[in-house]
């Protein structure tokens, strides 16, 4: 689904990403871990085609994204932002409809077909009843659900998220992650960055750990996500404990 | 039912515009009955040549122009608000009006004709925006912020130029002419003015109407819009060019008419929502209605005509204060 090889990127003289290679298959849930300022956001911006001056290759469904137009890229992957600030309030349905823009002609507006798809996306996320509400009046958790519905209406198989749960409360975080996990069961590929190793442990199949712009570890979550890795990444003492409910990670005082 | 609400609002606005359009022909010093107005509008003939002259040579160009100017300024305001993600943006945000004022003042100083003043104003308005865009492009800052800053700079540069022209202008005839022009007025609008200005206006309005769905996406973050398949840079430039054409052509025939481009889009946002699919048509029709109404007051309230720019501010500013202080306002 997505294959990144030898990705390097610099802002001026400062090299942010060094030889980053990883891949995600259809149905994978890939969690990107790493401390602040390690290049996670830069990685996402490269992969999404927003930053262009990188070296190496980024392939989605076998196609190099350098060869794709914005529209074609929008059909392959969608982006779910962290928090959605907007100057103007739109209804939930209109917000979700915006995801269908890439399939419309430059001079046309969404038709009945797109409206139907937007409603299906709302149903898939389970928020049909919010359709006529104003986006700005929703709670943070609901807003994030709308953003996911918008990504689904885009009909791209790859969902990319830069810390999608950072501004959510405890319950909504789990709700959003459970929904994303369910989506991977329907063939979507999810790549998300997170600050919480527990999220990676509970939900992801694969982990990509970045440190100082380089890959510290990449592989199956059960194999690579160890207390050693967390200690190296964040410089703290973390322990991972097996419980009847799966693995639990917590930091401990040294 | 709820889905049809915007369509019904648009229909009502159109009906108001049509009614007001017809009614405006009756107003004026020379009495023309409604029946005669309708006959002249439909057939272009009348038994009374004075009535024919009043309706088709004097009132017609002015009424059409009021509609066009109102429509253009409001559409330009709504466009700039979306492009700059700023609800306080108005048509003169990039200095198009200052450029036009400088051009008009210069033309009056050089004793140009009526048409010359319009042409100068139009040209300098476009020139000021071109300058703003080039400066913004040369800057290394965030593009949108750079363009806004450049707009303020270029705007004050042209204002200084206008002040200098006022200083050196002949205080007997040129200075009053400049001052009056700057106040904004539609008096003395001729058929030739309409014929000149309608083309750049259409060139601005039609692309905006066609692009209006995508303009919605400009109000999102750069990342979101781009990953949804929109060329934000190109689209933003296209909308700025259209809005500039609208502002330049409106200002060049009417002078400084403030507030319309800020107040009408806000009123329409309250009325019909922020979705540009409905907002843009609503803004265009409502802008025409508002300007026609104000111009009717301007030419009929007192025996001496009140410059329309003064009236729009008198009506616009209190109205904006009302919007601001209302409890559920988003401003």
Tell me the pLDDT tens digit for each residue of B243-256: 999 999 999 999 88
Per-residue model confidence (pLDDT) at position A85: 66
Nearest chain A Cα distance for residue B176, angstroms:
42
Task: Give the pLDDT of residue A167.
Answer: 81
pLDDT at position A84 = 63
Q: Would the CB atoms of A101 and B214 count as touching at under 8 Å?
A: yes
* pLDDT tens figures, A70-89: 999 999 999 998 766 677 88
Question: pLDDT digits over B117-153, tens only?
Answer: 999 999 999 999 899 988 988 887 777 788 889 999 9
The C-alpha atoms of residue B217 and residue B238 are separated, in whole angstroms, by 14
Number of compact structural domains in chain A:
1
Residues of B within 8 A of A71 (CB-CB) are 229
The answer as to whether A117 is a domain residue is yes
Q: Which residues of B touch A81 (CB under 8 A)?
A: 221, 223-224
Pick among B84, B227, B235, B268 to test the A interface (most A CBs inside 10 A):
B227
Domain coverage including residue A43 = 2-221
Mean pLDDT taken over chain A: 92
Residue numbers of chain B with a pLDDT score lower than 70: 1-3, 327-331
Asked if residue A129 is part of any domain, the answer here is yes
- A87 and B214 within 8 Å at the Cβ level: the answer is no
What Cα–Cα distance (Å) separates residue B316 from each residue in A181, A246, B261?
53, 64, 10
- What is the complex's ipTM, to 2 decimals? 0.90
| Residue A170 CB neighbours (<10 A) | 8
What does the alpha-carbon distance between residue B26 and residue B31 come to, in Å, rounded to a whole number? 7
Position B331 scores a pLDDT of 45
A31-70 confidence digits (pLDDT tens) = 999 998 889 999 999 999 999 899 999 999 999 999 999 9
Q: B82 contacts in A (CB within 8 Å)? A: 88
- Within an 8 Å CB–CB cutoff, is residue A241 touching chain B? no
Chain B residue with minimum CA distance to A41: B223
Domains of chain B, CATH where assigned: 2-325 (1.10.3470.10)
Name the minimum distance, in Å, from the CA of B129 to any CA of chain A.
24
How much of chain A, in percent, has pLDDT values that exceed 70? Answer: 99
Encode pLDDT of A153-208 as tens digits: 999 999 999 888 888 888 889 999 999 999 999 999 999 999 999 999 999 999 99
Could you read off the pLDDT of A15-24 as tens digits, one per residue?
Answer: 999 999 999 9
In this prediction, residue B1 carries a pLDDT of 43
Whether residue A134 lies inside any domain: the answer is yes
In terms of CA atoms, which chain A residue is nearest residue B266? Answer: A88
Map chain B to HEC letters.
CHHHHHHHHHHHHHHHHHHHHHHHCCCCCCCCCHHHHHHHHHHCCCCCHHHHHHHHHHHHHHHHHHHHHHHHHHHHHHHHHHHCCCCCCCHHHHCHHHHHHHHHHHHHHCCCCHHHHHHHHHHHHHHHHHHHHHHHHHCCCCHHHHHHHHHHHHHHHHHHHHHHHHHHCCCCCHHHHHHHHHHCCCCCCCHHHHHHHHHHHHHHHHHHHHCHHHHHHCCCCHHHHHHCCCCHHHHHHHHHHHHHHHHHHHHHHHCCCCCHHHHHHHHHHHHHCCCHHHHHHHHHHHHHHHHHHHHHHHHHCCCCCCCHHHHHHHHHHHHHHHHHHCCCCCC
Q: What is the model's pLDDT at position B91?
A: 87
Q: Does the beta carbon of A79 lie under 8 angstroms from any beta carbon of chain B?
A: yes
Structural domain includes residue A187: yes
Q: Find which of B2, B81, B229 to mutate to test the A interface (most A CBs within 10 Å of its CB).
A: B229
Residue A245 located in a structural domain: no
What is the pLDDT, as a whole number, of residue B64? 96
CATH code of the domain in which A85 resides: 3.40.50.300
B221 to chain A nearest CA, in Å?
Answer: 8
Residue B303 has a pLDDT of 76
* Inside any domain, residue A250: no
Question: What pLDDT is attached to residue B228?
Answer: 95
Does A234 map to a domain? no
A70 in contact with B, Cβ within 8 Å? yes
């Amino acid at each position: 689904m997505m294959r990144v090889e030898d990705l390097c990127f610099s802002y001026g003289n400062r090299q942010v990403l060094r030889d980053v290679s990883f891949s995600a298959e259809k149905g994978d849930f890939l969690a990107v871990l790493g401390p602040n300022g390690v290049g996670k956001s830069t990685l996402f911006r490269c992969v999404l085609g927003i930053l262009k001056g990188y070296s190496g290759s980024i392939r989605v469904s076998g196609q190099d994204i350098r060869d794709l137009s914005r529209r074609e890229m929008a059909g392959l992957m969608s982006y779910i932002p962290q928090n959605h600030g907007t100057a103007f309030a739109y209804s939930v349905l209109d917000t979700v409809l915006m995801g269908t823009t890439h399939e419309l002609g430059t001079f046309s507006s969404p038709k009945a077909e797109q409206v139907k798809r937007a409603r299906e996306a709302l149903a898939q996320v389970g928020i049909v009843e919010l359709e006529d509400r104003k986006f700005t009046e929703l709670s943070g958790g609901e807003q994030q659900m709308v953003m996911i519905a918008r990504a689904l209406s885009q009909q791209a198989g790859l969902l990319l998220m830069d810390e999608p749960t950072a501004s959510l409360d405890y319950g909504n975080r789990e709700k959003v992650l459970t929904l994303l996990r369910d989506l991977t069961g329907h063939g979507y590929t999810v790549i998300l960055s997170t600050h919480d190793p527990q999220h990676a442990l509970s939900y992801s199949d694969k982990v990509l750990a970045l440190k100082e712009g380089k890959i510290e570890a990449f592989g199956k979550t059960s194999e690579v996500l160890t207390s050693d890795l967390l200690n190296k990444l964040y410089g703290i003492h973390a322990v991972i404990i097996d419980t009847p409910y799966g693995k639990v990670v917590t930091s401990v005082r040294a | 039912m709820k889905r049809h609400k915007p369509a019904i609002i648009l229909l009502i606005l159109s009906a108001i515009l049509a009614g007001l359009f017809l009614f405006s022909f009756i107003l004026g010093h020379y009495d023309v009955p409604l029946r005669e107005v309708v006959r002249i509008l439909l057939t272009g003939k009348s038994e009374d040549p004075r009535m024919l002259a009043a309706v088709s040579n004097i009132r017609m160009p002015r009424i059409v122009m009021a509609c066009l100017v109102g429509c253009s300024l409001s559409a330009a305001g709504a466009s700039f608000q979306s492009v700059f993600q700023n609800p306080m943006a108005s048509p003169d945000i990039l200095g198009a009006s200052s450029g036009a004022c400088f051009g008009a003042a210069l033309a009056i100083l050089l004793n140009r004709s009526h048409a010359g003043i319009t042409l100068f104003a139009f040209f300098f308005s476009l020139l000021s925006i071109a300058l703003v865009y080039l400066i913004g492009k040369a800057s290394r800052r965030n593009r949108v912020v750079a363009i806004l800053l450049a707009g303020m700079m270029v705007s004050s540069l042209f204002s200084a130029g206008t002040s200098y022209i006022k200083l050196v202008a002949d205080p007997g005839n040129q200075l009053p002419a400049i001052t009056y022009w700057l106040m904004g007025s539609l008096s003395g609008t001729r058929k030739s003015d309409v014929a000149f200005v309608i083309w750049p206006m259409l060139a601005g309005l039609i692309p905006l109407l066609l692009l209006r769905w995508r303009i919605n996406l400009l109000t999102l973050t750069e990342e979101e819009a781009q990953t949804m398949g929109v060329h934000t840079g190109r689209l933003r430039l296209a909308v700025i060019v259209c809005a500039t054409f609208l502002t330049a052509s409106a200002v060049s025939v009417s002078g400084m008419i403030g507030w319309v481009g800020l107040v009408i889009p806000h009123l329409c946002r309250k009325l019909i929502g922020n979705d540009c699919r409905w907002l843009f048509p609503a803004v265009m029709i409502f802008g025409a209605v508002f300007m026609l109404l104000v111009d009717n007051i301007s030419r009929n309230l007192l025996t001496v005509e009140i410059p329309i720019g003064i009236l729009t501010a008198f009506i616009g500013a209190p109205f904006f204060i009302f919007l601001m202080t209302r409890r559920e306002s988003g401003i």
